[in-house]
Amino acid sequence: MEAPTMTDEHEHYEAVVVGAGPGGAAAAATLARNGVETVVLERGVDAGSKNVTGGLIYAEESAPYTIDGLLPGFREHATERPVTDYYIHNIAGEKVKTFDITQGHERDTEWADAVLRRKMDSWMAERVHELTRETGGGLLTGVKVNGLLRDNNEIVGVTCEELDPIEADFIVAADGVNSELARAAGLMDWEEPEEWFQGVKAVVDMPGDAINERFGIDDDEGEAHLFSGDLYDGVRGGGFLYTNESSLCIGNVFHLDSIVAEEAEVQELLDALLTHPLLAQWLGEEYDEREYSAKLVPDSKKAANPSPHEGRLVLVGDAGGQMQAQGPIIKGMNHAVTAGALAAEAFVEARSRGKPSTAGERYEQRLHDEGVMAKLRPMRYEVASAAGENDITTDLAERLLDSPLGRASVRAADTAGLLGRAYGSPYLASMMPDTKTPYVTLPTIIAEELGTRVADDNTIEPPSLGERIGELTYDTDVGNPHIVLEDDSVAASGAAVTACPVSAEGFGGGCYREETVQSNGDEERVVSLDTQPCVECGTCAVVADTQWEHPRGGKGVEFREG
Amino acid sequence: MHTVTLTKGVPDFREGQVSFDEDGHLERGNTPTVMNPNDKHALRTALQTKVRHGGRLSVMSMGPPGYGDVLGEAMESVYADELYLLSDRELAASDTWATAITIATGLQKLDETPDLVFAGFKTADGETGHTGPQACWCLDWPIITHVIALDVDEDEGTVRAKRLVEGDIEEIETVEAPIPAFVVADPEFEPTYRTAGDRLTLKDLRAETKERAKNHEEHMTTWDHADLNLDPDYIGLDGSPTIVSSVDPIPKAPAEREATMVDPGDEAGMSEVFDAMAAHAGGEQ
Ligand SMILES: Cc1cc2nc3c(=O)[nH]c(=O)nc-3n(C[C@H](O)[C@H](O)[C@H](O)COP(=O)(O)OP(=O)(O)OC[C@H]3O[C@@H](n4cnc5c(N)ncnc54)[C@H](O)[C@@H]3O)c2cc1C
Ligand SMILES: Cc1cc2nc3c(=O)[nH]c(=O)nc-3n(C[C@H](O)[C@H](O)[C@H](O)COP(=O)(O)OP(=O)(O)OC[C@H]3O[C@@H](n4cnc5c(N)ncnc54)[C@H](O)[C@@H]3O)c2cc1C
Ligand code: SF4
């Protein structure tokens, strides 16, 4: 009749991997190569259809695993252009001071390529399916895991929307940021905006020839540009631009608490970057946006769980907060890959010793031994932030910098070549305090003191929010919204109206809206929610009072670029 | 496990595809042939059986050579292994009786007797629903109709099914029959794949069929009446006892209702509209 009814006897696999991003792919490929029967469950209609990155994927020299090592042919088939030049631009009004940070970027870098996630993840998924199929498992899309299967309170498997529960000896939560599994296991929470960044980006169509000409590069070359300074209304964070084969990725990554504090309309901050005179040279006259997208990004300094396991469950990648912001350089995908492979390796070893239940501890040990946790949660930051992130120090630093003395030392530092070196130093970057100083004040002063005026006329007109939503593909789960507002008061959930990347004050076509309702003759301001245009970024899981879940398998937004 | 699904090509009655002449007669030449929509339920039942129990999935159709494409569509959508087309001039103009005899003979000629035969519930053009039951009657097998869920017990050699009694969604019974048997899937039938194992098998079948479906003719066996050893007197027009005395076109529904345009700014007009509507506010027609 219905599926073979196995009330007490569940389908069983040796390993279940939840999520087919880089973390899940690396874990599954490594498990399968070691003969572990592995099934991979991905909620998107296609791997990559839910994912957003900047993004540059790094292969670090110091890392025990890199994605092309695990999946040969990766660079040839799944990536766009390599990064051959790297610049950071400090902006104050129309004044710009640019530093070449290629050298810093190349330190510990075997290679770094720009990627688009739909292409990258779907390529990986095919390889992973082939590998895991040989073990008796395989990769399934359109399946959403919605919880942990427990037996006497012990985690023994997963429950799914589309399938009957599955038991496994090893469960890899590689389900990305806003991991429902990590939350269910009590290993991560979604409470503090300080622990997250929000990334918003546009994929801009541009023929390969035009890219080569405008950036002065060849087919096998690519550029990365970072932007910071006063163009973001004081919101802490920065912008990026990466070259793909025939498109550009342009976006911003901001601290979520800062977005909330400044009540920033994040799509307008993207437009501020797109329309800055500096970008005119690259964007030309015609602006054709292929896709608008957004996603939360954990800040490993604060969010990475130092002990990311519980029973048979391990967290890898964003699910465990393993996303490193090395100053302006963002490294999440590479760490997800490393963690995925280390977790798999830990299980293989634990199994061979007849103690599969020790996989979690072995994984944690490996994260430390291989230096991954030290990159994610550097001691330097913990020490420096204690001193650098309180109001008095910040205020002092701000006032000093803005004083004639501070400005003079900025000029002197540049003459001595110190600024360029500082930007390229991962050591300094890892100490950077999460205050306005490094993100806004310092770049602005650098640009004011040292910058040259960019006179180009930027004439492009980015699409409106309504147009951006209109261009996206959705398979709406009608009547079954995946987010429910728990508290509709403005105090509890009002922040989402501006922080949600597909909502804005005074815009009726978005997810969140502020409305006036009449109750007992009184007027009251409340927040309302319509999840139809949701891009599943995760922001309102943190900044509003919601019951937040991902949509069922295959439902919701479908990114074509990512 | 070997299953055979019966399918027929029908005119594509969808808006924009179908073409009628001035008298309201179907212009077959100008209307593309597609798979009978209800046969998709039969095919899905067959696919679910194959996914759960393995084995061969064959599809059979009696009709002109053009039905080969319908069989190709079946191969693509449910990953059929083999296709059988029963086709020649002698078979033309068969009524349901002659069609059933021909199909039953085709089923008997297969090298491996099917365990289950799946038929659709009515075609979009003939709509008799006779063909499956009559073919089954020729073979003297059990038949279960209006099936909404199906379970095969290979060891016991039985098929168990949930069916709608008299096609009524409110009344569901469970019946069991020995195999071989005929099964007619109800349009309410929804295949379920609730295990990762089943879904992975489906994915394998899809990958495996991709190439095969591109050259479906290579996997199609065509039999004419001689191959089937059928006497022309008992098949085709001569073997069809049905006499169609006349055909009445269905009268067209009145296309337009009487409508009065009212400008929303026209207050008097609008209040007339509200008055007219008020009478029905209680839900009366
Ligand atoms: C704007 C932006 C810029 C960035 N720039 C960079 C960069 O330049 N370089 C870099 O390295 N990193 C960058 N990152 C971070 C990087 O994208 C992530 O760290 C990385 O994708 C994490 O990989 P993952 O495998 O852990 O998770 P993900 O890639 O998020 O994959 C998780 C997978 O799990 C699936 N999933 C989720 N829940 C379920 C469920 N319940 N059931 C089944 N499947 C589920 C998802 O659909 C998804 O496929 C950026 C992020 C953003 C948003
Ligand atoms: C009164 C009458 C007179 C007819 N006269 C003619 C005529 O003169 N000339 C002419 O060409 N046709 C004629 N037909 C059409 C012909 O009888 C039908 O095409 C055929 O018998 C199928 O019947 P049906 O369409 O009612 O299918 P149904 O019995 O409603 O179909 C049920 C199921 O049986 C199976 N099935 C039906 N037909 C086939 C098939 N051909 N191959 C494989 N599986 C099949 C399918 O699984 C289908 O879903 C006539 C039909 C009727 C009712
Ligand atoms: S509704 Fe929430 S999850 Fe969806 S796009 Fe807006 S902030 Fe992101």
Q: By residue range, what is the domain housing residue B213?
A: 2-234
In CATH terms, the superfamily for domain A5-78+115-188+305-376 is: FAD/NAD(P)-binding domain (3.50.50.60)
Mean pLDDT of chain A: 94
Q: Is the pLDDT of residue A514 over 90?
A: yes
Distance CA A319, CA A460 (A): 37
User: Would you state the structure tokens that stand for residue A285, as one six-digit string?
Assistant: 């006259």
Q: Are A179 and A173 in contact (CB under 8 A)?
A: yes
Distance CA A439, CA A435 (A): 7
| Residue A21 neighbours by CB distance under 10 Å | 32
Among the listed residues A288, A255, A227, the one whose alpha carbon sits nearest the alpha carbon of residue A463? A288
- Average confidence (pLDDT) over A68-79: 98
Upper half-sphere CA count for residue B161 (Cβ side, 13 Å):
28
CA of B129, nearest ligand number? 2
Q: Where in chain A is the domain with CATH 3.30.70.20?
A: 472-558
Q: What is the pLDDT of residue A2?
A: 43
Per CATH, which fold does A472-558 belong to?
A: Alpha-Beta Plaits (3.30.70)
% residues pLDDT > 90 (chain B):
59
Q: What is the pLDDT of residue B284?
A: 62
User: Would you state the structure tokens that stand for residue A463, as one six-digit string?
Assistant: 């699409």
The confidence band for A8, taking pLDDT boundaries of 50, 70 and 90, is low
The pLDDT tens digits of the residues spanning B115-146 come to 999 999 888 888 888 889 999 999 999 999 99
Q: Is the pLDDT of residue B168 over 90?
A: no
Q: Which of residues 495-534 of A touch B (CB under 8 A)?
A: none
CB contact under 8 A, B196 and A129: no
The pLDDT tens digits of the residues spanning B41-76 come to 999 999 999 999 999 999 999 999 989 999 999 999
Give domain status of residue B222, yes or no.
yes
- Average confidence (pLDDT) over B23-29: 76
Q: Which of residues 124-143 of A touch B (CB under 8 A)?
A: 129, 133, 137-138, 140, 143
CA distances from residue A481 to A42, A221, A532, A534, A546 in whole angstroms, order as listed: 20, 44, 8, 10, 12
Distance CA A415, CA A407 (A): 13
User: Three-class SS of residue A283?
Assistant: helix
Number of domains composing chain B: 1
Distance CA A61, CA A334 (A): 11
CA distances from residue A391 to A195, A261, A395, A436, B30 in whole angstroms, order as listed: 18, 15, 6, 11, 80
CA of A332, nearest ligand number? 1
Q: CA triplet B190, B191, B194: central angle to 5 degrees?
A: 120
The pLDDT tens digits of the residues spanning A371-382 come to 999 999 998 777
Q: What is the pLDDT of residue A359?
A: 98
For the A81-114+190-300+383-469 domain, the top CATH level (class) is alpha beta
In one-letter notation, the amino acid at residue A458 is N
Please give the distance of CA A488 from its chain centroid, rounded to a whole number.
Answer: 28
The pLDDT tens digits of the residues spanning A91-130 come to 999 999 999 999 989 999 999 999 999 999 999 999 999 9
Among the atoms of ligand 1, which is closest to the Cα of residue A318?
A: 26
- Average confidence (pLDDT) over A438-457: 92
User: Three-class SS of residue A289?
Assistant: strand
At residue A449, φ and ψ (nearest 5 deg) are -80, -40
The confidence band for B269, taking pLDDT boundaries of 50, 70 and 90, is confident
Handedness of CA B50, B56, B61, B67 (dihedral sign): positive
Task: Establish whether residue B216 lines the binding site of ligand 2, counting it when its CB lies within 6 angstroms of any ligand atom.
Answer: no
Q: Are A323 and A297 in contact (CB under 8 A)?
A: yes
The answer to whether residue B108 neighbours chain A at the CB level (below 8 Å) is no
Distance CA B52, CA B59 (A): 18
A contacts of B149 (beta carbons < 8 Å): 1-2
Residue with the bigger pLDDT between A518 and A288: it is A288
Task: Establish whether residue B250 lines the binding site of ligand 2, counting it when its CB lies within 6 angstroms of any ligand atom.
Answer: no
The confidence band for B16, taking pLDDT boundaries of 50, 70 and 90, is confident
For chain B, the C-alpha Rg in angstroms (whole number) is 23
Q: What is the pLDDT of residue A64?
A: 97
Residue with the bigger pLDDT between B270 and A369: it is A369
Buried b (16+ CB within 10 A) or exposed e, B144-165: bbbbbbbbbeeeeeebbbbbbe
Q: Is the pLDDT of residue A428 over 80?
A: no
Helical axes B196-214 vs A117-133, angle rounded to 10°: 100
Among the atoms of ligand 3, which is closest to the Cα of residue A503?
A: 6
Give domain status of residue B263, yes or no.
no
The pLDDT tens digits of the residues spanning A373-426 come to 999 999 877 777 777 778 877 887 888 888 888 888 888 888 888 887 887 777
A contacts of B150 (beta carbons < 8 Å): 1
Q: Which residues contact B50 (CB under 8 A, 6 or more apart)?
A: B1, B3, B56, B57, B78, B79, B205
- B198-204 own/partner pairs: CB under 8 Å, 24+ apart: B198/A3, B198/B51, B198/B52, B199/A140, B199/A143, B199/A163, B200/A39, B200/A133, B200/A137, B200/A138, B200/A140, B201/B51, B202/B47, B202/B51, B203/A129, B203/A138, B203/A140, B204/A133
Give domain status of residue B58, yes or no.
yes
Helix/strand/coil (H/E/C) assignment for every residue in B231-247: CHHHCCCCCCCCCCCCC
Task: Establish whether residue A139 lines the binding site of ligand 1, counting it when its CB lies within 6 angstroms of any ligand atom.
Answer: no
Which CATH number is B17's domain given? 3.40.50.620
Q: Where in chain A is the domain with CATH 3.50.50.60?
A: 5-78+115-188+305-376
At residue B81, φ and ψ (nearest 5 deg) are -85, -45
Task: Establish whether residue A180 lines the binding site of ligand 1, counting it when its CB lies within 6 angstroms of any ligand atom.
Answer: yes
Residue with the bigger pLDDT between B172 and B249: it is B172
Q: Are A132 and A146 in contact (CB under 8 A)?
A: no
The complex scores an ipTM of 0.91
Q: Is the pLDDT of residue A5 over 50?
A: no
| Residue A262 neighbours by CB distance under 10 Å | 17
Q: What is the pLDDT of residue B239?
A: 80
The pLDDT tens digits of the residues spanning A270-315 come to 999 999 999 999 999 999 999 999 999 999 999 999 999 999 999 9
The answer to whether residue B197 neighbours chain A at the CB level (below 8 Å) is yes
Q: What's A395's DSSP letter?
A: H
Distance CA A499, CA A261 (A): 10
**Does a cis peptide bond (omega within 30 degrees of 0) precede residue B66?**
no
Give domain status of residue B282, yes or no.
no
Buried b (16+ CB within 10 A) or exposed e, B10-29: bbbeeeeeeeeeeeeeeeee
The pLDDT tens digits of the residues spanning A137-149 come to 999 999 999 999 9
| A2-6, A177-181, A517-521, B212-216: segment of lowest average pLDDT | A2-6
CB contact under 8 A, A41 and B196: yes
CB contact under 8 A, A1 and B193: no
Distance CA A44, CA A48 (A): 7
The confidence band for B109, taking pLDDT boundaries of 50, 70 and 90, is very high
Q: What is the pLDDT of residue A6?
A: 39
Give domain status of residue B45, yes or no.
yes
**Does a cis peptide bond (omega within 30 degrees of 0) precede residue B11?**
no
Please give the distance of CA B106 from its chain centroid, rounded to a whole number.
Answer: 18
User: Would you state the structure tokens that stand for residue A440, as one six-digit string?
Assistant: 């806004």
- Average confidence (pLDDT) over B90-116: 91
- Average confidence (pLDDT) over B102-118: 96
For an interface test with A, the pick among B195, B204, B210 (most A C-beta atoms closer than 10 Å) comes out as: B195
CB contact under 8 A, A1 and B203: no
The confidence band for B283, taking pLDDT boundaries of 50, 70 and 90, is low
A·B CB contacts under 8 A: 44
User: Would you state the structure tokens that stand for residue B228, as one six-digit string?
Assistant: 């089937």
